[in-house]
């Protein structure tokens, strides 16, 4: 941006244009704050390995991965920005408008991140542009970013020129930066770009040590957030779902970056709605509260955990019967998570247990569990798949090819949720009245290990009696 552009008075701005005297005054008298003490970010070696794997996959091709542009909410107000998971995974950086470029060379690729440099002091950008450093805070200099990311960093304003000069077939991650896509118009193909998106998702299927540590921490912080909520729940009388959501959010912001997805604080019949995020009801004694929430770490990895608890601290006999069935299904699901198992095995194992309970309770007439399972009739009350991959996204790697994901095989280093549930809608006339309006889900985050699995969220009580003892302890 040049001086004239920065000097334009804004529509409905209270200040007039900047006088020459003020411009000259603002150009001087500022300390040099360049940082020379920076060390590479802890995941720099991992991001380098991830980029090397991508480079090996596409020799001779120009690869372009944008972080994305902020979405405008109104005039100069944006929605909170989060970089594309693909860009964050390959760089460890969280800048907006940034673009990772892998330019083909004779023996691989030359890698560079194109980033916005520090906002300029000479042309007034630093205080006159509404994203300048006196408005949004200081951005790193390119040199600082090189040191942090372990990656060549270039000025974003030179990107179009660099893309025009680069040769070779091009692949771009679409959907994040319309400007980048326009600069590459006519040089990319929808099918090839879709294949590129699949590859970027598949690169994230097996987590490295850094990612596993992040997910472990996300689960631990989430467990602390659940404890915060249980303490609020212990106050006498109804508790609003909004207070529950807000209480968890405080923990997410203090220990992490944000929540990894909209918190589901679903009490009473709301628990039968899979993604209840309106959270505008009350949690009343005698009801169950289904809390599905996850802290996203500062490096953007999220937990995805659910506990269903009695608001008054004790399950009724029917609530407990339903809870125990879901618990048994989850146990069967978790037991099926091991290297070499088909991905679908844990889902089948858990759903089968749920079908057996539904048959035993007489909800499926004269059918045997085999018959009910074969016809899929249990799904009236189980509704969803039993889990999904977890990582930078709550539904991680969702763009991977079916053959490598749901039709694939579990490998050590994968992390997935196991989250069976039973949901009896309030208006379901096919179940006895006392079942109606009860929803139970139990969700844990499971790491596939060389010898089987590890429950990363084992710190949260799960069995019905453990849940009751936990609530009693927090009630003091
Ligand atoms: N929290 C969304 C899910 O469990 O998949
Ligand atoms: Mn989930
Ligand atoms: Mn969940």
Q: Is the CB of 361 under 6 A from ligand 1?
A: no
The yes-or-no verdict on residue 4 having pLDDT over 70 is no
Considering only 215-219, 234-238, 291-295, 297-301, which range has the smallest mean pLDDT?
Answer: 234-238
Q: How do residues 295-324 score in pLDDT, each as one tens digit?
A: 999 999 999 999 999 999 999 999 999 999
In the prediction, which pLDDT does 14 show? 84
How much distance in Å is there from the Cα of 292 to the middle of ligand 2? 8
More confident residue, 281 or 237: 281
Residue 244 sits at φ, ψ, to 5 deg, of -65, -50
Separation in Å, CA 359 to CA 350, 363, 424: 15, 6, 15
The yes-or-no verdict on residue 132 having pLDDT over 80 is yes
How much distance in Å is there from the Cα of 53 to the middle of ligand 3? 31
DSSP state of 13: -
In the prediction, which pLDDT does 275 show? 96
Average pLDDT over residues 267-292: 97
Q: Is the CB of 292 under 6 A from ligand 1?
A: yes
Average pLDDT over residues 374-394: 96
> Which residues, in sequence order, are CB contacts of 394 under 8 Å at separation 6+?
260, 261, 294, 302, 304, 388
In 10 A of CB 318, how many CB atoms? 12
Separation in Å, CA 349 to CA 327, 343, 375: 12, 11, 16
Q: Is the CB of 304 under 6 A from ligand 1?
A: yes
Q: What is the pTM of this model?
A: 0.96
In the prediction, which pLDDT does 6 show? 67
Give the H/E segment covering residue 370.
helix 369-375
Q: How do residues 259-273 score in pLDDT, each as one tens digit?
A: 999 999 999 999 999
In the prediction, which pLDDT does 298 show? 98
Angle at 164 between CA 159 and CA 169, to 5 degrees: 110
Residue nearest to atom 4 of ligand 1 (CA): 304
In the prediction, which pLDDT does 1 show? 53
Pocket test for ligand 1, best of 293, 394, 445 (most atoms within 8 A of CB): 394
- Go through 367-395 and write b for each residue having 16 or more CB atoms within 10 A of its CB, e for each that does not: bebeebbeeebbebbbbeebbbbbbbbbe
More confident residue, 53 or 10: 53
Distance CA(170)–CA(187), nearest Å, equals 6
In the prediction, which pLDDT does 2 show? 58
Can you read off the two tokens belonging to residue 404?
Answer: 């490598």
The yes-or-no verdict on residue 292 having pLDDT over 90 is yes
Q: At 54, is the secondary structure helix, strand, or coil?
A: helix
In the prediction, which pLDDT does 167 show? 84
In the prediction, which pLDDT does 9 show? 73
Average pLDDT over residues 50-70: 98
Using 50, 70 and 90 to split pLDDT, how confident is the model at 476? Answer: confident
Can you read off the two tokens belonging to residue 373?
Answer: 């399972």
How much distance in Å is there from the Cα of 418 to the middle of ligand 3? 9
* Mean pLDDT, all residues of the chain: 96
Give the nearest ligand 1 atom to 387 CA: 5
In the prediction, which pLDDT does 473 show? 94
Contact 352, 368 (CB under 8 A): no
Using 50, 70 and 90 to split pLDDT, how confident is the model at 10? Answer: confident
Residue 233 sits at φ, ψ, to 5 deg, of -65, -25
In the prediction, which pLDDT does 151 show? 97
In 10 A of CB 152, how many CB atoms? 14
Q: What residues are neighbours of ligand 3 (ion), with CB under 5 Å?
A: 292, 304, 443
Average pLDDT over residues 160-180: 95
Using 50, 70 and 90 to split pLDDT, how confident is the model at 76? Answer: confident
Pocket test for ligand 1, best of 219, 259, 260, 261 (most atoms within 8 A of CB): 261
239-240 and 288-293 as β-strands: parallel, antiparallel, unpaired? unpaired
Share of the chain above pLDDT 70, in %: 98
In the prediction, which pLDDT does 95 show? 98
Q: What is the DSSP string of 296-317?
A: EPTTS-B--EEEEEETTSS--H
In the prediction, which pLDDT does 130 show? 87
Q: Report CA 379 to chain centroid distance, whole Å.
A: 27
Q: What is the DSSP string of 16-35?
A: -PPPHHHHHHHHSS------
Using 50, 70 and 90 to split pLDDT, how confident is the model at 445? Answer: very high
The yes-or-no verdict on residue 5 having pLDDT over 70 is no
Can you read off the two tokens belonging to residue 235?
Answer: 């106050």
Can you read off the two tokens belonging to residue 288?
Answer: 């169950």
Q: How do residues 399-419 score in pLDDT, each as one tens digit?
A: 999 999 999 999 999 999 999
Burial class (CB in 10 A: 0-12, 13-18, 19+), 109: buried
């Amino acid at each position: 941006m040049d001086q004239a552009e920065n000097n334009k008075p804004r529509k409905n701005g209270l200040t007039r244009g900047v006088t020459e005297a003020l411009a000259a005054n603002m150009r001087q008298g500022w300390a040099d704050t360049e940082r020379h003490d920076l060390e590479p970010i802890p995941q720099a070696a991992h991001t380098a390995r991830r980029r090397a794997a991508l480079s090996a996959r596409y020799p001779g091709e120009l690869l372009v991965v944008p972080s994305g542009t902020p979405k405008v909410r109104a005039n100069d107000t944006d929605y909170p920005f989060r970089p594309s998971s693909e860009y964050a995974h390959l760089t460890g950086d969280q800048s907006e408008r940034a673009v990772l470029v892998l330019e083909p060379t004779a023996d691989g690729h030359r890698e560079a991140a194109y980033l916005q440099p520090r906002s300029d002091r000479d042309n007034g950008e630093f205080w006159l542009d509404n994203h300048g450093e006196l408005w949004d805070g200081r951005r790193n200099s390119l040199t600082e970013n090189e040191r942090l990311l372990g990656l060549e960093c270039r000025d974003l304003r030179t990107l179009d020129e660099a893309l025009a000069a680069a040769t070779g077939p091009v692949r771009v991650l679409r959907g994040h930066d319309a400007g980048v896509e326009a600069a590459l118009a006519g040089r990319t193909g929808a099918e090839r770009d879709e294949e590129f998106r699949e590859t970027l998702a598949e690169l994230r299927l097996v987590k490295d040590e850094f990612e596993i540590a992040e997910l472990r921490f996300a689960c631990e912080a989430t467990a602390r957030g659940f404890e915060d909520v249980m303490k609020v729940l212990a106050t006498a009388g109804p508790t609003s779902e909004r207070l529950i959501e807000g209480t968890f959010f405080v923990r997410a912001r203090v220990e992490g970056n944000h929540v990894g997805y909209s918190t589901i604080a679903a009490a009473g019949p709301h628990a039968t709605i899979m993604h209840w995020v309106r959270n505008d009801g009350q949690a009343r004694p005698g009801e169950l509260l289904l809390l599905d929430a996850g802290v996203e770490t500062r490096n953007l990895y999220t937990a995805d955990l659910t506990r269903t608890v009695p608001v008054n601290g004790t399950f009724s006999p029917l609530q407990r019967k339903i809870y125990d069935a879901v618990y048994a299904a989850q146990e069967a699901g978790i037991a099926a998570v091991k290297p070499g198992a088909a991905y679908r095995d844990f889902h089948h194992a858990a759903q089968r247990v749920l079908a057996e309970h539904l048959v035993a309770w007489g909800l499926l007439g004269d059918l045997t569990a085999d018959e009910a399972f074969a016809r899929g009739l249990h799904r009236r009350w189980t509704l969803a798949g039993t889990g999904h991959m977890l990582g930078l996204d709550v539904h991680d790697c969702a763009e991977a090819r079916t053959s490598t994901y749901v039709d694939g095989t579990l490998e050590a280093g994968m992390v997935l949720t196991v989250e069976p549930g039973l949901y009896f809608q309030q208006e379901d006339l096919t179940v006895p009245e006392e079942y109606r309006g009860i929803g139970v889900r139990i969700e844990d985050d499971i790491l596939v290990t060389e010898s089987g699995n590890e429950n990363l969220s084992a710190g949260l009580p799960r069995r019905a009696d453990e849940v009751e003892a936990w609530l009693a302890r927090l009630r003091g």
